[in-house]
Amino acid sequence: MTDPKCFESFMRSYQNMVYTTAYRLLANHAEAQDISQEVFLKAYDRFEEIRDSPRVGGWLKTVARNMSLNHLTRHRNRWKHFSDFKREGAEDEIDFEATLADESIPFAGSDEMKERRETLDEMLEKLPRDQRLAIVLFHFEDMPYQEIARKLKVSLSKVKTDIMRGRLALRSKLQSRKGELGF
């Protein structure tokens, strides 16, 4: 039987990481909270197995990511975009390897890093769903293009296009944000 105080301490240690993983994919606080609760219910069921594992953080993040993607897949048909439809014969093989590294907001220290993460989450939330998912899976979950395409059940060219468009949109939002901040 799982000790409730021990599990509560475990949950507090990982709750921010699990919630952030779900929120970045879902861009919805209520849905991210629901997914986080489901992740910790799974963890509770397996707590005796995972509690001392050095890989428990990775396991929790993977479960949060997969549950978020499953949630999105279940609701995909309701929110289908025209960009989801692939034109026949249109296969884009260009590799978009641009990064936002040069466009980062110059902050330092823990309060500033927290503000920077909040700014990034705010900007990600405003991206179209497909772009946000591709960006988060590629940059935050370190998934390769092919794996993203497989998980989202879309073409490789769509993933590359969504990442490129998402980066351009983030860069534009970041530049206007810099202007607001006086950088």
User: At 70, which CATH number?
Assistant: 1.10.1740.10
Which residues lie closer than 8 Å to 6 by C-beta, 6 or more apart? 51
pLDDT at 92 over 90: no
Supply the pTM of this predicted model.
0.63
Q: How confident is the model at residue 1 (pLDDT cuts 50, 70, 90)?
A: low
pLDDT on residue 181? 56
End-of-domain residue from the set 50, 78, 106: 78
Question: Per-residue pLDDT tens for 2-30?
Answer: 788 999 999 999 999 999 999 999 988 99
Please indicate, yes or no, if residue 111 is contained in any of the structural domains: yes
State the residue range of the domain holding 61.
4-78
Tell me how far apart the alpha carbons of residues 24 and 19 are, in angstroms, rounded to a whole number: 9
Question: Is 83 part of any domain?
Answer: no
Is residue 112 one of the residues assigned to a domain?
yes
In a domain, 32, yes or no: yes
User: Is 152 in contact with 144 (CB distance < 8 Å)?
Assistant: no
| Burial class, 80, CB count within 10 angstroms (exposed 0-12 / middle 13-18 / buried 19+) | exposed
